[in-house]
Chains A and B, each alone.
Chain A
Amino acid sequence: MNNQVLAAHESLEIHEVLNFKTLCLAKSKLMQGLVFDQELRALMQKDVQQSTQAIAELQAVYAKAPFQAPVPQNRPTPIIE
């Protein structure tokens, strides 16, 4: 059961949640350099740790998407011409 391929619509849900969590991780990390209140900063650091764990779990599930593919080291096409 655990190695079953995800349904197409489930894969898209995981795609959305994974990208959301990735953005949250980026924001909680970057904003720690801007906040003044140290309690707020500590809570953001907690979110960084939880999001990192969440991303690892989501990636493990996403690996079972029907459209999964080998992941290259870098973005396949250069961003800047």
Chain B
Amino acid sequence: MKHMNHDYLDPINSLHVPELADTTFAMDFLIRAKEGVRNLAFALTETASPDARAVLRNQLRQAIAMHQEITELMLRKKWFHPYELQEQYQLDMLSANNTVLIGQMNLFPDDTSRIGMFDRTPDDANHGGALT
């Protein structure tokens, strides 16, 4: 992927994409789970109402369990190497480099405002009235 060409239909650009995409999504998922644990723990220590505390405490337990499941999945798939730091270093650098390349691609139309598609119902084209 080092010399990504700009023909997006060239199959060479699809090589290893599933692996690259899944590691990125899994990393996002892991970071969200981690952030959830921290946010919930923080909220719990700021809360006194018993029913609010019960909700937050249960969700904290669930968040810790989810974080563990994601970590184990990523370890099993070799998307995450907490012990082989050189491999983790390589993964970090590769995914950063590949994502920078994607960031430089011109993927979307110039105007994405889609004005007129979400601010009126179909009949509004007839000034609010159905055809009579």
Contacts and interface: CB of A to CB of B under 8 A. Distances in A.
Q: Do A and B bind each other?
A: yes
Interface of A: 1-2, 4, 6-7, 9-10, 13-14, 16-17, 20-21, 24, 27-28, 31, 34-37, 39-40, 43-44, 46-47, 50, 54, 57-58, 60-61, 64, 78-80
Interface in B16-68: 18, 21-22, 25-26, 28-29, 32, 35-36, 39-40, 42-43, 46-52, 55-56, 58-59, 62, 66
B56 A17 contact: yes
B18 A36 contact: yes
Interface residues of B, number: 34
Contacts of B52: 6, 10, 13-14, 61
Interface stretch (B69-77, B85-93, B102-110, B123-131): B69-77
A24 B83 CA distance: 28
B111 interface: no
Interface of B: 18, 21-22, 25-26, 28-29, 32, 35-36, 39-40, 42-43, 46-52, 55-56, 58-59, 62, 66, 69-70, 73, 77, 115, 118-119
